Amino acid sequence: MRIHAKQSVLLVVDVQARLLPAIHQGQAVLDNVCWLMGVARAVGVPVLATEQYPRGLGGTVPAVRAQLDADRIVEKEHFSAVSEGRLWQAPGGDRHRWVVTGTESHVCVQQTVLDLLAAGRRVFVVEEAVGSRRERDKQLALERMRQHGADIVSREMVAFEWLEKANTATFRAVLKEFIR
């Protein structure tokens, strides 16, 4: 199943100030999340973000927050972003293709993905845009999410599926700014 832009939403799970420095290759995860956010903006895919208990983990990192309107950030206390129900009311929350990024892969990302799948959504987890404190936890989470029906994809797989074809103004703009 392909990832069509008009049916997609990009979800950034808990990329937060106090958590990100502890994430294995956290800067690379952040860079890939921001790259995907830029491509999403270029092709018209809505972007949502979650914050896990921001009083304890700090808010969303500035590089992500700067690209989002306030109504696109959903605070949560449950590990799964789906549990509290507010994700569905956020702009783009009604879409059926969910491209998921963020931290931690084996906790909030995984529980959110499993709940999205249980709710009948198609889920695509971007391998280089998720992270955990320990690499082994990330790998186990990716395996488990795949076993339950999530597609594990790369950022370029997402970008080119959102674009669908070459020789358009959008393709040329994305190629120039993001694909090198």
If you search the block for the tokens 């206390």, which residue do you land on? 77
Q: Which domain holds residue 80?
A: 5-177
**What is the C-alpha R_g of the chain?**
15
Q: Residue 82: which pLDDT band, with cuts at 50, 70 and 90?
A: very high
Q: What is the pLDDT of residue 180?
A: 73
CATH of residue 101's domain is 3.40.50.850
**Sequence-separated (6 or more) residues with CB below 8 Å from residue 89:** none
| CA–CA dist 144, 146 (Å, integer) | 5
Q: What is the pLDDT of residue 56?
A: 84
Instruction: Please state, for a pLDDT cut of 70, what percent of the chain lies above it.
Output: 100
- Give the tokens for residue 68: 């989002």
Based on the structure, what is the number of domains in the chain? 1
Q: What is the pLDDT of residue 102?
A: 98
